[in-house]
Amino acid sequence: MILIKDGRVVDPASGMDEALDVVLEHGRVKALGKFPQTEEYERIIDAQGKVVAPGLVDVHVHFRDPGLTYKEDITTGAAAAAAGGFTTVVCMANTKPVVDSVETLTELLGRMRQLPIHVLSAAAVTRNFGGKELTDMRALRAAGAAGFTDDGIPIVDTGVLFEAMKVARELDVPISLHEEDPALIAAAGVNQGEVSRQLNYGGAPALAEEALVARDCMLALRSGAKVDIQHISSGVSVEVVRSMKRLGASVFAEVTPQHFSLTEQAVLERGTLAKVNPPLRTERDRYALIQGLKDGTIDFIATDHAPHSREEKARPLNEAPSGMIGLETALALGITNLVRKGHLTLLQLLEKMTVNPARFYGLDCGTLKEGAAADLVIFDEREAWTVEEDKFHSKSCNSPFIGMELYGKVCCTICGGQVVYEG
């Protein structure tokens, strides 16, 4: 048994925010209350002055395994997740090979089950991400696919996507979409606007995202599928999702910490480290994303943790790959840029990082009520720290936040009743 003493227990699923002790036993939350320190506990963790919350859930990470393990692998990815306070993550399928067959998925899930945290995998919507032929979604789901996505590559063919949504609806499983119409993109990873003009770089306009978001919300409405609009970046997209939710579409949206924290200006300051698909946009977009988080249009915060090697990111802007790591800075960026700025309460921030994504995927996690899985994070909301390049647990260090001072430090992550990280 573990006793976590005197923490501020914040559990968005029940609305709880109070000073309590938490007892863990046999991988579950045994009790919440006030308990004396006795010898029956194998460990007592002093959480005074700290927040005790459900382990964070990230529905969008890239662990690059199989095939691209010079960037990350499932072991280092899981270590980065635990260090960031995450106990459940969903890996995207853009590996090498793509996770589009039962064999690839089964092999991967076998290894994932050995990890100290819950690492799940999505499977591809289309074979080899070709955008034309659907994978055997039923067989992949039966083999354990958490959901379906061609993330990284937008699905251009409307008919193919509508068919996929109908199967996803039948299986009652999420389908997650990267929304950028390639026909409208001159050069990926940088917003088409002031900064791209300055750099004489073609850029990716907000319209490329908005057009697909509008289309796919309609497809979601008509198919009844549960759709995740991934890494939403444009204010107009937020408005489209807002109205389509009102119409009754089962549309959910995720935003990344980079999109609510930075703007296109970061490309001028951080170069390729700020190159990401969809791109960082304008202050006006950033503000609209925050409004979307506030009014519930945006349901989840997801990192899109996208490791790339130093050599790859050292290439010129037009050749470097898009993406940035995010698991180890996500909570602190939320605390620093959303909670401390007064946009969200801590409870609201954690709602977007625990119970909302857990419910969307139908997972047995994301809450601390009695009987729940003993997956927790303990953090100091007030502790300041500087993001340092050589401190990441990830195999890669492609973060535009290096050198920044953030608030909110993870002290301890517990998964299945076992301590999996201590800071």
- Least distance to ligand DOR from the beta carbon of 21, Å? 41
Question: Footprint of ligand DOR on residues 68-87 (CB under 6 A)?
Answer: none
Alpha helix segments (H runs only) across 172-256: 194-199, 206-223, 235-247
Return the residue of 151, 210, 228, 351 that touches ligand DOR, per CB under 6 A.
151
Q: To 10 degrees, the CA torsion angle through 6, 339, 189, 312? A: -30
Q: To 10 degrees, the CA torsion angle through 123, 129, 134, 138? A: -10
The residues that bridge with 148 in the sheet, in sequence order, are 123, 175
216 included as an active-site residue: no
Q: Helices H, strands E: what count in the chain?
A: 14, 16
- Pick the closer one to ligand DOR by CB: 95 or 356: 95
Through-space distance between the first and last CA atoms of the chain, rounded to whole angstroms: 21
Q: Which stretch binds ligand DOR (CB under 6 A): 256-264, 280-288, 318-326, 368-376?
A: 318-326
Question: Is 62 a binder of ligand DOR (CB under 6 A)?
Answer: yes
Return the residue of 87, 94, 121, 394 that touches ligand DOR, per CB under 6 A.
94
Alpha helix segments (H runs only) across 265-378: 265-270, 283-295, 310-313, 330-334, 346-353, 355-360
Tokens 């090697």 identify what position? 309
Contacts of 209 (CB under 8 A, 6+ apart): 179, 180, 181, 232, 233, 234, 237, 278
* Other beta carbons within 10 Å of 242: 18
CB distance 190 to 206 below 8 Å: no
Return the residue of 55, 84, 116, 152 that touches ligand DOR, per CB under 6 A.
152
Return the residue of 8, 118, 178, 305 that touches ligand DOR, per CB under 6 A.
178
What φ, ψ does residue 53 adopt, rounded to 5°?
-135, 165
Q: Which listed residue (73, 150, 216, 304) is catalytic? A: 304
- Pick the closer one to ligand DOR by CB: 79 or 273: 273
Question: Is 233 a binder of ligand DOR (CB under 6 A)?
Answer: no
- Least distance to ligand DOR from the beta carbon of 372, Å? 31
What φ, ψ does residue 310 adopt, rounded to 5°?
-60, -45
Smallest CA-to-CA distance from 87 within 414, 419, 326 is with: 414
- Least distance to ligand DOR from the beta carbon of 285, Å? 16
Q: Which stretch binds ligand DOR (CB under 6 A): 40-48, 77-85, 320-328, 348-356?
A: 320-328
Smallest CA-to-CA distance from 357 within 86, 57, 93, 55 is with: 57
# chain residues binding ligand DOR, by CB under 6 A: 12
Return the residue of 174, 323, 408, 416 that touches ligand DOR, per CB under 6 A.
323
Closest-by-Cβ residue to ligand DOR is 323
Return the residue of 185, 306, 373, 406 that touches ligand DOR, per CB under 6 A.
306
- Pick the closer one to ligand DOR by CB: 262 or 372: 262
What is the Cα–Cα distance from 173 to 169, expressed in whole angstroms?
7
Question: Footprint of ligand DOR on residues 270-299 (CB under 6 A)?
Answer: 276-277
- Pick the closer one to ligand DOR by CB: 178 or 270: 178
- Pick the closer one to ligand DOR by CB: 131 or 423: 131
- Least distance to ligand DOR from the beta carbon of 405, Å? 25
Contacts of 395 (CB under 8 A, 6+ apart): 69, 70, 71, 72, 73, 76, 307
Question: Is 305 a binder of ligand DOR (CB under 6 A)?
Answer: no
- Pick the closer one to ligand DOR by CB: 277 or 282: 277
The residues annotated with a catalytic role in the active site are: 304
Applying CB under 6 A, the residues found at the interface with ligand DOR are 62, 94, 151-152, 178, 276-277, 304, 306, 321-323
